[in-house]
Amino acid sequence: MFKKMVIAGALATAVAGSALAQSNVTIYGLIDAGVIGTNHAGTANANVNAITSGVDLTSRLGFRSVEDLGGGRTAGMNLESTVDAGNGSQTLSASTGAASATFSRAANVFLEDKQFGRLTLGRQGNAAWSTYIAHDTRGVTNFGGFMNFINDGSSFGGTSTSKSGLSSYTGGAFTSNTVRYDTPTFRGFNATYARVFGNVAGDADASSSDQYIVRYDNKGPVFASLGSYKANSSTGNASGENLFGGLGYRVNPNITVSGFYMNMKNPSSAGGTNGNFDLYNLGARYQITPKVGVSAGAYQLKDKNTSANGADLQSIMATYSLSKRTHVYAGASFVQNKGATGIAAYGGGSANLNSLATTNGLAVAGVSQSAYALGMRHTF
């Protein structure tokens, strides 16, 4: 009888230990789906209406683990996958470098010390994008905002068939083979350095990039950011440079106004097409009631090499909270394209309508568009 009790106790301890070992793993995610539509789409000049995933925010599934090492130190990992709410697949483009990878949004480990900062290794969010998100009152969502200028459904500088977007100037939303260091926050200031390794034998600069960001946010009314991004081609030559800054002001806990500016250029094509752009943004966010919020933004893209090219985009999105986890939303956007520039009004990232058909899903240079979005998202 005593032996049976000892064995049962040992088994219970082992099971409990196993459960405790797994208790620090968090499963989280977000599913966003809705109806999105636009006019003057593609060369067919068509009206498009479709149900798609990630109309406002990209649907995702993630796993996060954090372990307390003691002495103010923690370690952990993050795995995050893009999910297509339309068909359940994981094959939506998740920015450059891992279009159909299982964990296209994150696959990294980190070590953090309260006194010395945080080191993260692996695929992770673009460090510079944290600045864009902080200062874009539309939150760099997929519909009607900054992402419209980045997605591959947009075209610039007289190359309306390339549909390259500006991702080469910003590095895309996520970066692979990345080492990132974040300093601790001191009196509201913190800084980030990130290095993306090209992993090219014999040339440390080939296909690499470097990012430097300084931020200020002491939880008062004013917050600001300043940074730079520099990318190199496969031959080690500078192929994308981005200088950016943002300034925001919290009028009160419910109203925030903010804006940012960035200059994007490719030194290897300076003076030619796709060579030098300025992007401006100004917006506001208003939490009208605990359940109802609205955000709006205005964006202007200027081609500094060819003044006849450019685009102006305006968007607004209203959100109603059914609960802390479930939200419904409705939005509209309008873009005026000029010259050889073709920006889509309907969205970027996973909300891009390219999947419908090339002739229906893309903007056309010089043609203006309007779009609407109706959707719902649930977080867990």
Alpha carbon distance 362, 154 (integer Å): 7
Lowest mean pLDDT among 22-31, 62-71, 179-188: 22-31
Q: If we measure between CA atoms, which residue out of 146, 55, 138 comes closest to residue 373?
A: 55
Q: If we measure between CA atoms, which residue out of 166, 192, 128, 163 comes closest to residue 365?
A: 163
The answer, yes or no, to whether residue 252 has pLDDT greater than 90, is yes
Q: Considering the chain, what is the average pLDDT of its residues?
A: 83
Alpha carbon distance 283, 261 (integer Å): 12
Token pair 């350095």 is found at 193
Token pair 């931020």 is found at 215
Q: What is the pLDDT of residue 159?
A: 41
Token pair 């499963």 is found at 27
Alpha carbon distance 138, 128 (integer Å): 17
Alpha carbon distance 97, 104 (integer Å): 8
Upper half-sphere CA count for residue 237 (Cβ side, 13 Å): 6
Q: Read off the pLDDT of residues 181-238 as tens digits, 9 standing for 90 and up.
A: 999 999 999 999 999 999 888 888 888 999 999 999 999 999 999 999 998 887 777 7
Q: What is the pLDDT of residue 224?
A: 97
Decide if 225 contacts 215 (C-beta within 8 A).
yes
Per-residue pLDDT band at 131 (split at 50, 70, 90): confident
Upper half-sphere CA count for residue 42 (Cβ side, 13 Å): 16
CATH architecture of 50-379: Beta Barrel (2.40)
